[in-house]
Chains A and B, each alone.
Chain A
Amino acid sequence: MIEFDGVSRRFSNGHFGLQDVSFHIPEGRMVFLTGHSGSGKSTLLRMIPALDHPTSGQVRIGGHDLQKMRHHQYPKLRRQIGVVFQDHHLLPDRRVFDNVALPLQVSGFGSKDIRRRVEAALDKVGLLARQRALIEELSGGEQQRVNIARALVNRPKILLADEPTGNLDPELSRDIFNQFSDFHAVGVTVLIASHDLHLLKTYAVPRIVLNQGRLSHIEEAF
């Protein structure tokens, strides 16, 4: 489902964010992407929805070579990928419902479908009762759950999360992680970038370990 083949990313300042990284995550797997801060996790994740591109090597998603993909085909790719990224925030002055509805609106769903799906997604993350609230009224943990609901409302095949438990306490982190496990359980391919040692220790999930932009090793679940 997610294939990297000798992928390097050299930034304009000459620095390599990624260097010769190859791996393959089959459909329906859940995998951690770990490594120290600055090891290239975010750089790698951003390539999957074609937000960034390798300077050499190939990325294939669901069998499609991203290098060969045209710009106008990106929206279709991205609608099949749910993301929980740090730098793509919620819209703070909109309601929870509207934030979660956004991917569906963008994909051209009708309002009845939107209501049904948004409510299902909010129910799933336990925020159905707060759908009329403004984002800025929510706590950090709640906001992260809205993020997850938004990532999943379009029923993506792939779910990407970049430090999803970033500054949440352990209990909330576990909560969030359980959400991801649920989606994994129904067949979504999940890739979570994290250097949250507590999280990593607690769960038996295969992991791809990066070190200074290079693939250090791949650990299967213990």
Chain B
Amino acid sequence: MSRASPNNLTATKTNTKSLARGEHALSAWAHHHRRCFKDALWRLLKRPISAWATIVTIAIVLALPGFIMTLATQIKQIGGMWASENGQMNVYLIPSAQTDQIQSFQTWLNHQSVVRDSRLITPQEGLHELAKRLNIDSLTDIQPNPLPSVIVVHLDRLTGDTVESLQHQIRTNPLVDNISEGGEWIKRLQEISLFFDRLSWWLLGLFGLTVIFVIGNTLRLELQERREELSLMALIGGTSRYMLRPLLYDGAITGLLGGMLASVIIYGLLTALAAPINNLATNYGAHITVITPLLMTALLGIIGLILGWFSAQIIGRNFIKKSVKL
């Protein structure tokens, strides 16, 4: 048997610490991350059926709240468009508004990208018009004139979001008393969209919990298999963070793929429903693109990733504490 110099394996007080914290420590850490990532992908390929069963389950679970959320956005947009009364909006000003204030407000309005043009109807003009319509000449003599100044705004590009934000800006202007809206049913539509919005967040919370359980269950099986290896790692000085790392990658990747698949499902549903919705929308001079598929994929992917990571944290920590318990 060969006998190397004993110095090779000498134990001294300093070496254990200083080398481990040396210049390679950071690259070793990065290297471990890379390996955990690769291993996680490898496990996915090695056990395609069970892994994909989990991913599909997550996708279905996440698709429902995602779909409802998208629907809520749709309704809100349609509501916003209808609220603008077919491209026209009446802005009623407060009685004390001064002419120059009104003028600069109108200039501002005309500069907004969604505004095609606007027309000011002064109280006198309003009264004249009313008198003409009602055929009562004496109406023009009413003092003081009870009518407010009105700016009739014609809107150009009807996308719900921009109209809504414009409406908001107008409403908060101190000169503005009120703006015309399409009546009660528009409010109801907005309430419905709000309801769906809330519902989707609740569902997301509830179903997110489900996703955490589903991923957790898969991870638990994996942990059972690696139990011996984990207790060995604990014995040779592995921190729980080190032991947890591969698991975090597994959970995060599973969640990520599940979320992305969910977006595919939602997009499929939307495409199926797009025709009727767009029929409706084109009547109002608009075409709906609610959220680009890429954005939705990214969003749901990130949600899935966070849920998976979180699940791995909980399950992993618990398992290491209870079963490895070193």
Contact = CB atoms under 8 A, between A and B. Distances in A.
Contact of A51 (B2, B22, B326): B326
A45 B21 CA distance: 29
A27 B21 CA distance: 25
Contacts of A157: 11, 13, 16
Given A91-B229, A175-B1, A183 B31 contact: no
Given A121-B8, A175-B1, A186-B11, A80 B232 contact: no
Interface size class of A (residues with CB under 8 A): 35 or more
A102 B6 CA distance: 22
A109 B28 contact: yes
B32 interface: yes
Interface string B3-33: 1101111111101100111111101110110
Contacts of B3: 124, 182
Contacts of A72: 239
B25 A110 contact: yes
B28 A83 contact: no
Contact of B2 (A85, A107, A128, A182): A128
Contacts of B236: 78-79, 83, 102-103, 106, 150, 154
A140 interface: no
A203 to B, nearest CB: 18
A88 B235 contact: yes
A54 interface: no
Interface in B45-59: none
A105 B32 contact: yes
Interface residues of B, number: 39
A106 B326 contact: no
Contact of A75 (B2, B22, B31, B237): B237
B8 A85 contact: no
B6 A120 contact: no
Contacts of A105: 28, 32
Interface in A102-136: 102-103, 105-113, 120-121, 123-126, 128
Given A120-B9, A121-B8, A187-B10, A154 B2 contact: no
A40 interface: no
Contact of B9 (A79, A88, A109, A183): A183
B228 interface: yes
A88 B230 CA distance: 10
B224 to A, nearest CB: 16
A79 B237 contact: yes
A152 B242 CA distance: 21
Nearest to A179: B1
Contacts of B234: 74-75, 78
A88 B231 contact: yes
Contact of B232 (A74, A91, A128, A185): A91
A110 B11 contact: no
Nearest to B35: A105
The 9 residue pairs across chains A and B that have the minimum distance between CB atoms: A110-B24, A79-B237, A126-B1, A78-B237, A106-B238, A120-B8, A103-B236, A186-B6, A75-B237
Interface of A: 49-51, 72, 74-80, 83, 85, 88-89, 91, 102-103, 105-113, 120-121, 123-126, 128, 150, 152, 154-157, 175, 182-183, 185-188
